[in-house]
Structure 1
């Protein structure tokens, strides 16, 4: 059976508030728990009108309190901003609250523009220059394998628990795959960012994997998906996605376009070329069409799991998309 999980960016659709977006995240998390999805990840972003979660660790605590069995995690924490020890403390706290349910996924992107990154990091954003060392430190802190000459060696990591968060590397290039392989971590490739050579990165990750913290490689492909009941509905949803892609290409800091905005938008030749270039990053259609493409992609990646990101011009349509996927993949619902 294919494992399906959720990546949620807490999107703010035009005409809605951040409070609406957060409420929609909580509703989706409960639904995903009931439908049988494996994990629910929250992404970290800063300074963007389209998404409103700058602190996944806070929202995950809330989600954990209203769900029962689904794993919860960060997809991901943008580690260049932070002290690895502090991140370890935060996720050990989540692990203590929700044992054997916590994933700690990390990435090196700023989750916003560089000016915002400098503001978040009080002018000290390192642009990933020491990311490799940060990830190495984080894994050693979590697993209590720090070298004796490390400044944090011997420092008590609280809260003390009998379990540990599951560690993941997130990436959209060969850098993340190589680092995950070197450190023996699970790896999630962001196909929704880079749709063109992910299978080569996946193959490299498996071939170079060193069994340390994990006994074998474990790969997830993170995919942008919208599933609709009809092709007509799918086409309308895709128009709003197209508009969002154009906005991003032009550097416009706007909320997620609504279905009405997507339907009304007209494009010139340049925008049409841009849309055609970006569409491979999305899988949008009816359950039959989407399922076929997802199975093909899973085979290409030899992925152990698929992580589904759905950003639509309607919160109702987003919920329905995850319902249709759960039915198509015959996920085991909570009893």
Structure 2
């Protein structure tokens, strides 16, 4: 049976505050654990008022404290901004508090505009791509208490010292992260919700080239996709209309604009180009009533060759988000 997890970006809906968004995240996490979902991942965005999740490590601690079984993780910590040693210690603390439940997902995107990235690095130069693999190796070494003889950090240990370690996932929307994951032994999650093209080849190459390494010992992959499920196809399309507009506005650099309502989407003056972009963005989404969504998700997972999907439900209305996750849990028999 298909396994399902959740990606939550803690969206701030007009009329609510960022604190409300955090409360919604905790409520959703408790709900999907009860429904039988396997993972709950939270994102990292900076200087983005519409998304409240800027510190996944802290949010993971809160979510894990309010749940008891579901795995909780980052999607992801943006490693080029940070010290691998500090990231290792943060996640060792989480693993000590919630052993066997923590996922450390790593990304390399900026997570915000260039000036926010500059503020995060605080004077440090931007890491080049070749340095990313080195940072990953060091991160794996700190978490496994092994950095080879002659390594500049040989003997340095990430504390607290605990018997278990978080699962290490590389997140990506291209083949780059898939290749690094296969080279270094990490698990891989393809961000289909960001890029609807090229994922099948990236996942295929990951499995074909995988070898154990500092990030793990066996291959594991999933795919994250936007899913909007409602009681009818018509209601799902109505909800998705605001998501269509949201994605379009983000493409245009309107990061600070509030999440649009379906009514705003219905009255928006779309150009022919806008409509073409919306059609293209639908490749990143699965939208419909229960039977339509179930068939498409099964076909989607089979096409990718994975047994787990991470679901991002992007809707203006929180109750509609909850309903979508409830319908999916029923469709796939989660928790039975």
Corresponding residue of 1:234: 236
Q: What are structure 1's unaligned runs of at least 5 residues?
A: none
Distance in 1 (CA, whole Å) between partners of 2:185 and 2:174 is: 17
| 1:262 Cα deviation after fit | 2.2
Q: Which stretch shifts more, 111-120 or 92-101?
A: 111-120
- Pair 1:188–1:123, CA change in 2 (3 A): same
1:210-289 to structure 2, matched below 5 A, reads 210-212=211-213, 213-253=215-255, 254-289=257-292
In 1: Cα distance, 2:247 partner to 2:123 partner: 30
- Please identify, of 214-223 and 165-174, the stretch whose mean Cα deviation from structure 2 is larger: 214-223
The verdict on how the C-alpha distance between 1:217 and 1:184 changes in structure 2, with shifts beyond 3 A counting, is same
Counterpart position of 2:184? 183
| Structure 1 moving runs of 4+ over 3 Å | 212-215
Kindly indicate whether the alpha-carbon contact (under 8 Å) linking 1:10 and 1:21 is maintained by their aligned counterparts in 2: yes
RMSD of equivalent CA atoms? 1.4
Instruction: Name the structure 2 match of 1:205.
Output: 206
Measured in 2, the distance between the counterparts of 1:220 and 1:182 equals 17
Which SS does the other structure have where 1:267 is aligned? coil
Give the corresponding residue for 1:20: 20
Match of 1:90 in 2: 90
Equivalent pair of 1:30/1:66 in contact (CA under 8 Å): yes
Q: Is it true that 1:196 corresponds to 2:197 in the alignment?
A: yes
Whole-angstrom distance in 2 between the partners of 1:327 and 1:123: 50
2: distance between equivalents of 1:263 and 1:20?
26
Report what 1:163 is aligned to: 164
Note the C-alpha offset of 1:211. Answer: 2.4
Q: Is the 8 A contact 1:117 1:125 kept in 2?
A: no
Q: Which moved more, 1:211-220 or 1:306-315?
A: 211-220
TM-score (norm 2): 0.96
CA shift, 1:35, in A, is: 0.7
Report the Cα offset of residue 238 of structure 1: 1.2
Task: Quote the Cα distance in structure 1 between the aligned partners of 2:307 and 2:142.
Answer: 27
Deviation at 1:274, TM superposition (A): 1.5
Q: 1:293 aligns with which of 296, 320, 335?
A: 296
- How many residues are paired up? 333
TM-score (norm 1): 0.96
CA 261–16 in structure 1, closer or farther in 2 if over 3 Å, else same: farther
Partner of 2:106: 106
Match of 1:314 in 2: 317
For structure 2, list consecutive stretches of 5 or more residues without a partner in the other structure. Answer: none
Where 2:333 maps in the other structure, the secondary structure is coil
The CA deviation at 1:263 is 3.0
Tell whether the 8 Å contact from 1:259 to 1:314 is kept in structure 2 after alignment. Answer: no
